[in-house]
Structure 1
Amino acid sequence: MTSLEKSIQVQKQYLADMTEPGRPDTPMRTAGLVECWFSLGLYHHWQGEDEVARTEWAQAASLAQGYIERDLPALTSKRAPNYARLAMKTALAAALSGQDPLARTFFSYTERFSTGLVTGHEERPADPGAVLDSMALLPLYRVYSLIRLGRLSGFHGLIFPKANSEEAVWVETDIHGLLETAEHCLAIGRREGLKSFASETRLIPLLRALVAVLEGRGAAEAARKALVTYERSIRDMAGFYYIYRVTLDLKAAFPTVFTV
């Protein structure tokens, strides 16, 4: 049995366990089911079962949408970053299942939550330290979402004004400032002895190459090469989970860039 087959078996068993009659409907259960349906979609797509995958992604998106929108009225700026990861997964699941309007809504949520904003009209994040994690997950969620929304400038963000800055400032910036901030966060993580992963480190040059094309400064060939490099970074099931979903989404969202 291959690693992929084992993963499918584990996820299906988890799904059966979590949907047993009488199982309490808790936030942890919902998050687990979203993860399960999303993973199964990736695995089945890899195996060429596209329709099965789309159905599973649609299920993941529906569950996550209900969970987030139920909590949204009471969500605070301080708690918003905790919802960014699930919002990002919802956006990707919606996009991969062909629900573009829903995907756009949740890329908007991800963009706000990942920088500590709920409505987008707050003056600044309530807890700046919570949105600049040393693995650059939240900054990259925001960068990715802004690119998918077609917004490359005209917004505020927490950025490090200089390469050796220790304190970020909330200023008007653009996608380049946010990418530099993500790199800065990764550098802080390395200084702290944290391991970095290809899913983040190699995503930055890919997004830079894509932005260059979108701004009319770069060639699509360079972006395609960066995407190939990123996809070839998959070394294990964890890398597959984080990298494969991005490559699928980018190819579908920017066909004129990533299709030869």
Structure 2
Amino acid sequence: MTDLEKSIQVQKEYLATLTGTELGRPDTPTRTGAVFESWFALGIFNHWQGEEGGGRTYWAQAASLAHAYIERDLPALTSKRAPNYARLARNAALAAALSGQEPLARTFYSYAERFSTGLVTGHEERPVDPGAVLDSMALYPLYRVYSLIRLGRLSGFHGLIFPEVNSDEALWVRTDIHGLLETAEHCLAIGRRERFVFASEKGLPLLLRALVAVLEGRGTAEAARKALVTYERSIRDMSDFRRIYPVVLDLKATFPAVFTA
């Protein structure tokens, strides 16, 4: 049995343990998150095996569950708790997009963009706790950068940036996608000092910079495609695969003129 086959078996067995209540109905955050992650992973595994229809079915189920869960919690969500929903919203956006539900994907990307910077509605003056969304793995900054790119917003917003190269104190100021990428790279530099950076985050800024350069008319599609290949080749294990592969699929589908021409 290959590692992929083992992973599929584990995910299916794990899902079987979660059938004490009706699948698809939000209940506890822990169970809902576990069901979502299993469906999301099974979508990735099925697609990789060439079973694209099965992959889309799992992704659609994951997106539907996440939508019900986030919409239920949104009215009572606070700025302090918002970052806890960022990863779910970003992955739900990928699931929706990869199952052919682009309008729903954009809704999720809007949520991910706000939640990842500690905002609920997007109309707040600033995040309540800036330090909570500037993690050393750059997860939250990169969720926001990726979401903004997918929404076609490269400027005209506020963000947490590090105005001084050697300072770890971030300020909430008007910035653009480049300022947010620099913030993400600063967080990754902190992570490298702590020896804790995933390949999926380490290689993403270079790819996103290459894509942004094309979108702004400064770079070439060839350079962006090379960056995508480099990012995909950084997969070393199953954890990397589950993080990187859906991003690669989403970028190819969203920007075909750049990545598949």
Query: Residue by residue, what CA displacement relative to the aligned partner does 1:49-81 show, whole Å, maximum 9, x if unpaired?
Result: 000000000000011111111000000111100
- Superposition deviation, residue 25 in structure 1: 3.7
> 1:217: which partner in 2?
218
> 1:206: which partner in 2?
207
Secondary structure of 2:97's aligned partner = helix
- Superposition deviation, residue 201 in structure 1: 1.1
Matched, 1:187 2:189: yes
Gaps of 5+ in 2: none
> 2:197: which partner in 1?
196
> 1:166: which partner in 2?
168
Given residue 42 of structure 2, which amino acid in structure 1 is its aligned partner?
Answer: L
> 2:231: which partner in 1?
230
Query: Residue by residue, what CA displacement relative to the aligned partner does 1:218-238 show, whole Å, maximum 9, x if unpaired?
Result: 000000000001111111100
Secondary structure of 1:157's aligned partner = strand
Secondary structure of 1:158's aligned partner = strand
CA distance in 1, matches of 2:151, 2:219: 20
CA distance in 1, matches of 2:68, 2:93: 13
Given residue 212 of structure 1, which amino acid in structure 2 is its aligned partner?
Answer: A
Given residue 158 of structure 1, which amino acid in structure 2 is its aligned partner?
Answer: L
> 2:88: which partner in 1?
86
Secondary structure of 2:17's aligned partner = helix
Gaps of 5+ in 1: none
> 2:4: which partner in 1?
4
The alignment yields a C-alpha RMSD, in angstroms, of: 1.3
- Superposition deviation, residue 20 in structure 1: 3.6
CA distance in 1, matches of 2:71, 2:229: 36
Query: Residue by residue, what CA displacement relative to the aligned partner does 1:160-196 show, whole Å, maximum 9, x if unpaired?
Result: 00211121000000000000000101111222x2322
Mean CA deviation greater in 147-156 or 23-32: 23-32
CA distance in 2, matches of 1:74, 1:25: 16
Secondary structure of 1:150's aligned partner = coil
Residue in structure 1 matching 2:52, options 50, 53, 63: 50
- Superposition deviation, residue 21 in structure 1: 5.4
Q: TM-score, normalised by structure 2?
A: 0.97
Query: Residue by residue, what CA displacement relative to the aligned partner does 1:30-63 show, whole Å, maximum 9, x if unpaired?
Result: 1000000000000000000000000000000011
Given residue 57 of structure 1, which amino acid in structure 2 is its aligned partner?
Answer: W
Q: TM-score, normalised by structure 1?
A: 0.97
Given residue 27 of structure 1, which amino acid in structure 2 is its aligned partner?
Answer: P
Query: Residue by residue, what CA displacement relative to the aligned partner does 1:206-228 show, whole Å, maximum 9, x if unpaired?
Result: 00000000000000000000000
Which of structure 1's runs of 4+ aligned residues deviate more than 2 A?
20-25
Identity across matched positions, percent: 78
Given residue 98 of structure 1, which amino acid in structure 2 is its aligned partner?
Answer: G
> 1:18: which partner in 2?
18
Given residue 17 of structure 1, which amino acid in structure 2 is its aligned partner?
Answer: T
